[in-house]
Structure 1
Amino acid sequence: MKKIIHKADTRGHANHGWLNSHHTFSFASYYDPERVHFGALRVLNDDTVAAGMGFGKHPHDNMEIISIPLFGDLAHEDSMGNNSVIKENDVQVMSAGTGIVHSEFNHNKDKQTEFLQIWLFPNKQNVSPRYGQKTFEPAERKNNFQLVVSPNASEIDTWIHQDAWFHLADFEKGFSKEYKIKKSGNGLYIFLLDGKLSVAEEKLDKRDAIGLTDLESIKITADSQARFLLMEVPMEW
């Protein structure tokens, strides 16, 4: 097994006033040749958007885009005709494919919104754009890996064009569980939202991450109450 550690304070950072963003991988004005992507995982932005502010209309193509609100709400509008609000415990996916235009705004006038913006390289080019959104029950991730993104349309509304599986988890202190890789050759990227974790003989704190390759399974132990996101992604596609 091989591993790479990305500590929270090593991420790229841009504070635009209305947007405070931390970049795990190279993005916009932040560039690190050693941190361009982890397999198919291209972007992991940890964004805080001020009340009533947001991203105006902008285009995307040939990218799988996942948004996960952590606090507050995000209003979404796109060229496919979707007009919705994503909230805590929601997950949104978009297959940009041949091209989409969308906007995202903090739906709240009195509080900030925090969300993860994640991009994956797709395994198919120039597909028809599509949108998916689903609300997940937080109790189902208690001491468990809750599936929130999958490549299988028959399995979940929030499916994508990539052999990737995302799980949210909320572990009690002292709880351990083994994660088994679903597709041979995939890697696992674990992003710790809150708390403390032990993974592969490494100690992770809030917003730290670890990338693991050449593995079939890994034991994850919570050293305190811990919330985290597991992203199993192809290393080649």
Structure 2
Amino acid sequence: MIERRPFDSLGGANHGWLDARHHFSFSEYHDPARVHWGALRVWNDDAIEPGTGFAPHPHADMEIITYIREGAISHQDSLGNQGRTEAGDVQVMSAGSGIRHSEYNLEPGVTRLFQIWIFPDQRGGQPSWGTKPFPRGERSGQFVALASGIEEDVDALPIRARARVLGATLKAGETVEYRLEAGHHAYLVPASGQVEINGIALQTRDGAAIKDEHNLRVTAHEDAELVLVDTAR
């Protein structure tokens, strides 16, 4: 089963400094049919104006993955972590028993990102944060684990869930395949480009909610950048 969720069907709001689109219920947007997908709770498509961002605020019991599409984000948190994550790279914050953080766009242009939240397998624990570069060229023609709680994904940023966030880039006409284990849920978004997944056409920033499909075959109709979440529940 693959359910296409067109970009123009997503919830969201434009706050001036933040133009946000929500694949799942978030903040003042609520759709009872789009609350979560397996352990995937949030997928926000955010555009943040220069010199603005999210002021310090708390989180607990959530794995928060930020995929930077354009620009960069600067992070600070109550553990004393500071860092800047730029386009193509990823940061992960395991909120654990509780953490406060801020995320600001200190760049001269708009920062565009995907913010992805995944339920952890267990509540509590020491919070943590990390960031890592993932050059787009190293994802050419293949899915690469960017953040993962699967033991064999040794090069991915760790998360505390039986889930993985993967990225791939495709040239027009190229195809990539991914095997989805029985009982898993997956969600695919083309950050750019037009693709087809198992015969279902997706435009840029559409979502595809996937289950009961054992083999995912994605073909690019034009150069494309893909982000895929695979959760075990």
**Structure 2 SS opposite 1:9:** helix
1:216 to 204, 214, 217: 214
Offset at 1:157?
A: 5.1
Distance in 2 (CA, whole Å) between partners of 1:49 and 1:18 is: 6
Aligned pairs (5 A) from 1:1-237:
2-108=1-107, 110-152=108-150, 155-156=154-155, 158-181=157-180, 183-234=181-232, 236=233
C-alpha distance in 2 between matches for 1:47 and 1:100: 22
The structure 1 segments of at least 4 consecutive aligned residues displaced by more than 4 Å after TM superposition are none
Query: What is the CA distance between 1:184 and its match in structure 2?
Result: 3.5
Q: How many Å separate the matches in 2 of 1:89 and 1:222?
A: 19
- Report if aligned partners of 2:168, 2:226 keep a CA contact under 8 Å in 1: yes
The answer (yes or no) to whether the contact 2:150–2:164 under 8 Å persists in 1 is no
In structure 2, C-alpha distance between the alignment counterparts of 1:228 and 1:128, rounded to whole Å: 31
Separation in 2, partners of 1:157, 1:6: 28
User: Which secondary structure does the structure 2 equivalent of 1:140 belong to?
Assistant: helix
RMSD, aligned CA? 1.3
Give the CA deviation at 1:113.
Answer: 0.8
TM-score (norm 2): 0.96
Local SS of the residue matching 1:103: strand
Which one-letter code corresponds to 1:92 in the other structure? Q
SS of 1:189's partner is strand
Q: CA deviation at 1:216?
A: 2.0
Is the 1:150–1:156 Cα contact (8 Å) retained in structure 2?
no
Which amino acid counterpart does residue 105 of structure 2 have in structure 1? N
SS class of match (2:158): coil
Structure 1 counterpart SS, 2:112 = strand
> 1:194 corresponds to which letter in structure 2?
S
**Matched AA of 1:66:** I
Shift of 1:152: 4.0
Q: Distance in 2 between matches of 1:217 and 1:127?
A: 35
Deviation at 1:57, TM superposition (A): 0.5
Aligned residues: 232
**Residue 200 of structure 1: how far off its partner (Å):** 2.1
The residue matched to 1:139 in structure 2 has which SS? helix
In structure 2, what is the Cα distance between the partners aligned to 1:89 and 1:202?
A: 26
Paired residue type of 1:163:
R
The Cα shift of 1:84 comes to 0.9
Q: Distance in 1 between matches of 2:43 and 2:176?
A: 24
Q: Give the gaps of 5 or more residues in structure 2.
A: none
